[in-house]
């Protein structure tokens, strides 16, 4: 498994969940205490978030870490990287 594919899958899942919750990047950034440009970078899959960042996003989106990780695994299975 490539590190890059994990980041890409995380970005896909973050964007999907954010849109499912009808939030803009700006709103998610405000709710999570992160910068909007950083949210964009994460969604593009070009950076690896820390556990603190992932947890801040989970709290802001009102989802569990388990939920997010299972969605990431699903994306990776579907694109053949897992």
pLDDT class for 2, splitting at 50, 70, 90? low
Q: How many residues does the chain have?
A: 82
CA gap 5, 29 in Å, rounded: 23
Q: Calculate mean pLDDT across residues 40-63.
A: 97
pTM for the whole thing?
0.92
pLDDT per position as a tens digit, 27-40: 999 999 999 999 99
Q: Could you tell me the pLDDT band of residue 4, with boundaries at 50, 70 and 90?
A: low
The angle subtended at Cα 67 by Cα 60 and Cα 8, nearest 5°, is 85
Helices (H), 1-82: 3-20, 25-32, 36-44, 51-61, 65-78
Q: Which CATH number fits domain 3-76: 3.40.50.720, 3.30.428.10, 3.90.320.10, 1.10.260.40?
A: 1.10.260.40
pLDDT mean over 53-70: 98
Separation of alpha carbons 3 and 62, rounded Å: 26
Predicted pLDDT of residue 1: 46
């Amino acid at each position: 498994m490539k590190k890059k594919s994990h980041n890409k899958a995380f970005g896909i899942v973050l964007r999907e969940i954010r849109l499912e919750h009808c939030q803009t990047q700006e709103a998610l950034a405000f709710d999570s205490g992160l910068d909007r440009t950083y949210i964009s970078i994460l969604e593009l899959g070009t950076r690896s978030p820390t556990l603190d960042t992932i947890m801040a996003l989970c709290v802001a989106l009102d989802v569990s870490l388990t939920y997010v990780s299972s969605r990431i695994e699903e994306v990776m299975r579907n694109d053949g990287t897992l």
